[in-house]
Amino acid sequence: MRNSNWLNQHQEETLEPSREICDAHHHLWDYPDSKYLTDDYIKDISSGHNITSTVYVECGSKYRQEGPDFLRSVGEVDFVRDSVTSFNENNSSSTRICNAIVGYANLTDKNSTKTLDELIDASNLMVGVRHASAWDKNKNIRNAHTHPIERLFRNSDFKRGFAELEKRNLSFDAWLYHPQIPELTELARNFPNQVIVLDHLGGPIGIGPYAGKRKEIFQSWKKNIQSLADCPNVFAKLGGLLMSLSGFGLHKRDRPPTSTEIATLTRDYYLFMIDTFGPARCMFESNFPMDKVSCSYNVLWNSFKKITHAFSENDKELLYKKTAQKVYKIRD
């Protein structure tokens, strides 16, 4: 990840600084070779935008080192809960973080129901589960940290565990790559009452065998997104396009991009998603610190605001706060 010296080469005035935002997707982690902790995230969100609530999404950090394998991911919820308690209780501003938690359960495991129940018991902020399915046959594409099998959503063991989410009023976050979108559509149709949230616009890949094929991939992506949007139980997160996976290569530049440059590169994706799903089913996300590889937090949200500058106030409220709060059960 680029250091702050690189990011600090470009500074911008915050646009619409009073607009209330729920950051619908971010991480905290404490890995042996990398740390992004509460103080790091607070520093980023304090750069100008009015972040009033956030959604923490699992990333495989701080698992329990002892006990049954199927309960080790509960340690991540413990970690998040304990990490943010002091800030949320003592902060004098309107900002609260990790108001909702999306944890991990291996839904293919025969003990997945026990995992789900332990996750719920660990925190009253546990509202959803992500079992990342991002998988590609090409060795140049890094598969998800959960080491998913091919066609995970069609696996009978997975579907058995997936069926338990609705019983517990838990949403499901879907992290996949764009060739897998039809598999998610099939899953959504088979479980019409299960709330599903598509992460990172369905993961359009622009590297490896997909490099240099952006126009072709964009057309197939649009077709598959349209079919997915026909499922009323599916919502969409708008963000994640600045990971290196997308192939824009912003992280390789000598200087970080401006919000105008980012908006120009990504506008067509976001506008299509909003037009197809509607603002009531879309929510902006930072995907920090993953997208921090390409720009600062302030610049990222400025790019979103430039894309939506002509939208109605009602639509902006949905995109920046209300949709996320509704899906993840966050109260003002």
224-to-219, 231, 276, 298 alpha-carbon distances in Å: 9, 12, 11, 31
Hunting for tokens 């649009």 — which residue is that?
A: 222
Are 310 and 270 in contact, with CB atoms under 8 Å apart? no
Query: For 192, phi and psi rounded to 5 degrees?
Result: -65, -15
Integer Cα distance of 251 and 206 in angstroms:
14
Structure confidence at residue 2 (pLDDT): 52
Percentages helix, strand, coil for the chain, rounded to the nearest 5? 45, 15, 40
User: pLDDT below 70 — which residues of the chain?
Assistant: 1-2
Cβ atoms of residues 14 and 21 within 8 Å: no
The predicted pLDDT at position 92 comes to 77
Question: What pLDDT was estimated at residue 94?
Answer: 83
Omega before 289 cis (within 30°)? yes
Q: What is the pLDDT of residue 332?
A: 81
Contact yes or no for 208/141 (Cβ under 8 A): yes
pLDDT digits (tens, 9 = 90+) for 180-207: 999 999 999 999 999 999 999 999 999 9
pLDDT for 148 equals 96
- For every residue of 202-250, DSSP letters joined together read G----SGGGTT-HHHHHHHHHHHHHHHHTSTTEEEEE--TTSGGG---G
First to last CA, the chain: 33
CATH of 4-327 given 3.10.580.10, 3.30.360.10, 3.10.105.10, 3.20.20.140:
3.20.20.140
pTM passes above 0.85: yes
Distances (CA, A) of 206 to 1, 77, 236, 307: 19, 32, 20, 22
Residue type, 305: K
State the Cα–Cα distance between residues 223 and 313, nearest whole angstrom: 29
DSSP SS3 for 48: coil
